[in-house]
Amino acid sequence: MSLIADILPEEQLLISLCRLSFSEKQKKNINALVKKITDINRFVYLANEHGIIALVYDNLKETGAGDLLPEEKMVFLANSRMKSLGRNTFLYNIIEEVLGLFRQAKIKTVLLKGMALELSVYGNKGLRQMNDIDILVPRKRCMEARRILLKNGFQSIPLKSPLYNLILPYYGKHLPELVKGGISVEIHHNLFAGPDHSLTEKMITGSTEILFNKSSLYIPPVREFFLYLVKHLDKHEKKGESQLRLYTDLFCMIENYGEELLNRTLFKEAEAAGLEKILAAKLFLLKHYWGIFINPGLEIPINEKAPANITQLFKTFLSQPKGHPAQYSRAYTYRQTINQIQGLHRKIIFILGDLFPSLRFMRERYGTRSKLAALLYYPHRLGKIIYLIRMQRN
Mean pLDDT of 334-344: 81
For the chain, domain boundaries? 1-69, 84-220, 221-325, 330-393
CATH architecture label of 84-220: 2-Layer Sandwich (3.30)
Number of neighbours of residue 82 by Cβ within 10 angstroms: 13
Mean pLDDT of 24-35: 96
Q: 386 falls in which pLDDT band (50, 70, 90)?
A: low
165-195 pLDDT per residue, tens: 999 988 888 999 999 999 999 999 999 876 6
Q: 2 falls in which pLDDT band (50, 70, 90)?
A: low
Q: What per-residue confidence (pLDDT) applies to 1?
A: 46
Q: Is the pLDDT of residue 84 over 60?
A: yes
Q: What per-residue confidence (pLDDT) applies to 223?
A: 95
More confident residue, 391 or 51: 51
Non-local CB neighbours of 294 within 8 Å, separated by 6+ positions: 262, 283, 287, 302
Q: 138-152, 221-235, 288-302: lowest mean pLDDT where? A: 288-302
More confident residue, 227 or 362: 227
Q: 12-16, 49-53, 203-207, 350-354: lowest mean pLDDT where? A: 350-354
230-262 pLDDT per residue, tens: 999 999 888 888 899 999 999 999 999 988 899
Mean pLDDT of 6-10: 91
Q: What per-residue confidence (pLDDT) applies to 331?
A: 67
292-316 pLDDT per residue, tens: 999 888 888 898 888 888 998 899 8
Number of neighbours of residue 195 by Cβ within 10 angstroms: 7
- pLDDT above 90 covers a percentage of the chain that reads 60
Q: What per-residue confidence (pLDDT) applies to 389?
A: 57
Supply the pTM of this predicted model.
0.91
Q: What per-residue confidence (pLDDT) applies to 16?
A: 96
Q: What per-residue confidence (pLDDT) applies to 300?
A: 85
Angle at 128 between CA 148 and CA 81, to 5 degrees: 115
Q: What per-residue confidence (pLDDT) applies to 282?
A: 96
Q: What per-residue confidence (pLDDT) applies to 304?
A: 86
More confident residue, 377 or 36: 36
